[in-house]
Structure 1
Amino acid sequence: MHTPLLGQRSEVFNQADPHVVSLYVNQHVGSHCIQLPKASRPLAHLSHRTFAELDLCRITYGAPVRVVSPALERCFHLQVLLAGHCLWRRGREEHFLAPGELLLINPDEPVDLTYSADCEKFIVKIPVRLLTDLCEQQRWTVPSPGVRFLQNRYRLDDVQGLVSLLCMICHEAEEFEPQPVVQAHYTQIIASKLLCLIKTNVQQTQQAAPTLNFQRVAEYIERHLRQALDTDTLASLVNVSPRTLYGLFERNAQASPADYIRQRRLARVHACLSDPQCTVRSLSELAMDYGFMHLGRFSDQYRKQFGQLPSETLRQRRCDVAKNG
């Protein structure tokens, strides 16, 4: 299975001692221990990237290796088998995984995996909090034990688009300068994809609360456009985290809270400049009333939103007043 899931730009170890590689994996991907044949002298390879809250890892040990762990604790592991084969043990059950198969391991599940010498796998470490926050944001019902995947094994054909999305994330991680907002957006998509495509214990009943929450925050913003507004204050209005608030604005306004506030302030300024009944002593004073301290930047943002400079809007208003007597 050939996929562009991390390349040389992300290489951390090449032809290295597997125990050294295992120590690195313990620090970044998940607590475990490895068991290798005593007579072997394997050479391991590992590529790794941190992407927002995710850890991306591509690894091969170069020898048959057994990986065991009592549990992953506060993270899920998504593993994609790229080459070779893997024996997965769960209690008395044994299952062989082949290239093109996906394994999802819940945080409280023991790990017992034996990889062939030619086995190569791609791992995504997903914090529990990422899925929990998304469920809270969507107002989905999560049982008391927390989010759990009810089926562990999948063919990649069963989860359409997931590998393409992972390839896109790897490309973003390797090719571009880190952009926290973009990375956070991608991680939200990964979380949504997993919860919607894969069987879980989450009850995904849509409720009206998110829309009502956004309306409540939007109304508050309209009433306080002249005042300082921050995400912590807005999030506390509807008892959600700032991260959840960001999701509300992405879905309902296709903008971040800060961008939405700026758009609404510009709209209010535009309305004042267009309305003959609204007293405008000076453009700079009006701009500063709505928090625009950098007048050059204000004019540029105004022009991008309305297609003309604020002075042109005011001039048009005066012409209209003169024309109408």
Structure 2
Amino acid sequence: MSAPTDEPLAAHAVMNTDDVDEARHVVTEVYVPHELDSLGGRPLDARLNSVASERLTLGYLVYGADASLDLPPLEHCYHVNLTLSGRTEVTRRRGRERAVTEGGRSGAVLLPTEDSTVTWTPEATQFAMKFPRGPLEEHLGGLLGHPIHDALDFDVSMDLTAGPGAALMSAVRFLQTELDRPGGIATAPLARAQLETYVMTALLHGVGHQYTNELLAPRVEERPAIVRQTLEFIDAHAAEPFSIPQLAKRMGVSTRTLQVTFARHVGMTPSEYVRDVRLAGAHADLVTANPADSSVTELAAAWGFLHQGRFSEQYRAKYGRLPSQTLRS
């Protein structure tokens, strides 16, 4: 089967098949495990073009038949479908939540904590996007000024024709256009990272969730000087060894005062914040390191993680994959 050369991300084709089992395998590898069936066992006309980074995976997906997908909880990521043509139906929480999406008008979100089903009409085409939990929740925490400890409970669907939903579609289309353009943003890693971060911001504004009101509320409270100074010190010296009592002494307050004040204004203890900053530093080093001359043990130790098992567990909880997988990629 030949694929149209003018469809989105055509230069990044990863699947073109009529076989249900092959389509299930490829889509599982790019996105998440699932079950796939076509109506009456009929052949598919399935295509997937996709591009991935540590922040998101953007794909153009077609099944070309009446298709049904059953997905368990995604665990380590969020999945966002922006319907471009045709129609899909999405259910979550064992059918208690339901949405119908129509081409150019609506989309849907699948959650890390809930099972889902998605049915496609033969004409349906979608931007299928995967957002790992770590980067998206960390980005939201940065926007709010405090860490996010629970999974985001996105609304099941969004309106793509107006307001924040239309801005999300516009951001995704701009990213896709730049990735398709010869000499475009794909060849400029820093610019690409900024654009992908903007897409994450557009998603957080474009689909409702439990932090929407806080995200949209005006900022009025200024953090005390002790909190600002502590944040600045940790951000600048996270790779250096220091204890929380030593940090409190440097700030000129008792350990208890530092812990209570910091937690009140940041939403976590100083120790938790130090751990998150060090995890982010280790992650950045793993992304850029050459696996031929670097090891997970060395890079983790440089950020104060001396217990490799605990580091791997904390890293996977935050970024959805093992540190060794990040290093190899």
Shorter-chain TM range is 0.5 to 0.7
Q: Distance in 2 between matches of 1:53 and 1:121?
A: 19
Could you tell me whether the CA contact under 8 Å between 2:18 and 2:45 is conserved in 1? yes
Structure whose CA Rg is larger: 1
Shift of 1:214: 7.5
Q: 1:104 aligns with which of 104, 109, 114?
A: 109
1:241 corresponds to 2:277: yes
Shift of 1:146: 2.8
Q: Distance in 2 between matches of 1:123 and 1:210?
A: 43
Shift of 1:145: 3.2
Q: Which residue of 1 aligns with 2:255?
A: none
Shift of 1:58: 1.1
Q: 2:175 aligns with which of 160, 169, 185?
A: 169
Cα shift readout 1:72-94 (whole Å, capped 9, x = no counterpart): 11111110111111122342554
* 1:219–1:62 Cα change, 3 Å: closer
* 1:243–1:144 Cα change, 3 Å: closer
Cα shift readout 1:271-304 (whole Å, capped 9, x = no counterpart): xxxxxxxxxxxxxxxxxxxxxxxxxxxxxxxxxx
Q: Distance in 1 between matches of 2:7 and 2:229?
A: 40
Q: Which runs of 5+ in 1 are unaligned?
A: 222-228, 246-325
Letter in 1 for 2:137: T
Q: Distance in 2 between matches of 1:129 and 1:75?
A: 8
Q: Distance in 2 between matches of 1:22 and 1:189?
A: 30
Cα shift readout 1:77-135 (whole Å, capped 9, x = no counterpart): 11011111112234255442211211122211211111111211111100111222123
* 1:210–1:131 Cα change, 3 Å: farther
Q: Which residue of 2 aligns with 1:26?
A: 28
* 1:184–1:62 Cα change, 3 Å: same
The percent of aligned pairs where both chains have the same amino acid is 19
Q: Distance in 2 between matches of 1:36 and 1:61?
A: 9
Q: Distance in 2 between matches of 1:64 and 1:232?
A: 53
Q: Which residue of 2 aligns with 1:81?
A: 83
Which stretch shows the higher mean deviation, 138-147 or 50-59? 138-147
* 1:116–1:210 Cα change, 3 Å: farther
Shift of 1:191: 2.1
Aligned length: 234
Q: 2:205 aligns with which of 180, 196, 200?
A: 196
Could you tell me whether the CA contact under 8 Å between 2:113 and 2:151 is conserved in 1? no
Could you tell me whether the CA contact under 8 Å between 1:12 and 1:46 is conserved in 2? yes
Q: 1:185 aligns with which of 194, 197, 209?
A: 194
Cα shift readout 1:10-68 (whole Å, capped 9, x = no counterpart): 22223442321221111111221101133512221111111342111111112111100
Q: Distance in 2 between matches of 1:18 and 1:178?
A: 34
- The alignment's TM-score, normalised by the length of structure 1, stands at 0.61
Could you tell me whether the CA contact under 8 Å between 1:55 and 1:126 is conserved in 2? yes
- What is the RMSD computed on CA atoms of the aligned residues? 3.6
| 1:175-324 → structure 2 map (5 Å cutoff) | 175=181, 176=184, 177-202=186-211, 203-204=214-215, 206=219, 208-209=222-223, 232=239, 239=274, 241=277
* 1:208–1:198 Cα change, 3 Å: farther
Could you tell me whether the CA contact under 8 Å between 1:5 and 1:166 is conserved in 2? no
Secondary structure (helix, strand or coil) at the match of 1:73 reads coil
Q: Distance in 1 between matches of 2:129 and 2:225?
A: 32
